[in-house]
Amino acid sequence: MSAAVIVFPGSNCDRDCKVAVERSTGERVEMVWHQETALPSGLDLIVLPGGFSYGDYLRCGAMAAQSPVMQAVRKAADDGVAVLGICNGFQILCEAGMLPGALLRNAGLKYVCKPISLTVANANTRFTAGYQGQEEVVMTQGNGDGNYFADAETLARIEGEGQVVFRYVDNPNGSVADIAGLQNARGNVLGMMPHPDRAFEAELGSADGAVLFRSIYAAA
């Protein structure tokens, strides 16, 4: 598998993602600066990492969504390459129009940082096939703007098309329908607020995140 992590100004989980993918799959990951206009050829996975791109000014992910590299990311997604947006990366995907809905301030107006339990709402995706038979997983939450929102029409569509991939067991931020992660209609773009890159080895408290990366590897 060939993978790349996009690095934005303010990213703080880019190296975490690189290490998580490499240790989970045994493959090397390239780091791509946000001002690049082209991506390495032959990619199977593009990761938009967590962090605070552009200091979370304007709206979380809004400025990063306009970075030059995002045109290449959109093109790759259109060509069927897997794109994974984690935390701020999820916000970027929504701001770029690559996923429906938006991420708002947490309902409690507090930053949430703790291990979080999730249910696997759809194990029949290229991101979650490895969770077959595992209904609940544990990853780590770390956000202040993780409150997923979509209007009723959009919510009905994504629910009906099986786009919800992860749900919170105990919703920490007020996300509608407990949505913690969802994919696009085509099934090759996933955005999620919890961090699989912080839960890929037992020493971190959970190795459930590694299953996600291995699922992508197997699909590739």
CA dihedral 58→64→65→70, nearest 10 degrees, is 170
Contacts of 195 (CB under 8 A, 6+ apart): 13, 16, 50, 86, 87, 139, 140, 141, 142, 209
Helix axes 14-25, 208-219, angle to 10 degrees: 70
Containing 71, the helix (H) or strand (E) segment is helix 69-78
d(CA 145, CA 193): 9
Question: Is residue 195 flagged as an active site residue?
Answer: yes
Active-site residue among 17, 60, 94, 195? 195
Is the distance from CB of 206 to CB of 131 less than 8 angstroms?
no
Is the distance from CB of 81 to CB of 43 less than 8 angstroms?
yes
d(CA 122, CA 137): 13
Nearest to 145, CA basis, from 117, 100, 104: 104
Amino acid letter for position 112: V
Helix and strand element counts for the chain (H, E): 5, 11
Active-site residue among 13, 17, 87, 94? 87
Where in the sequence numbering do the catalytic residues fall? 87, 195
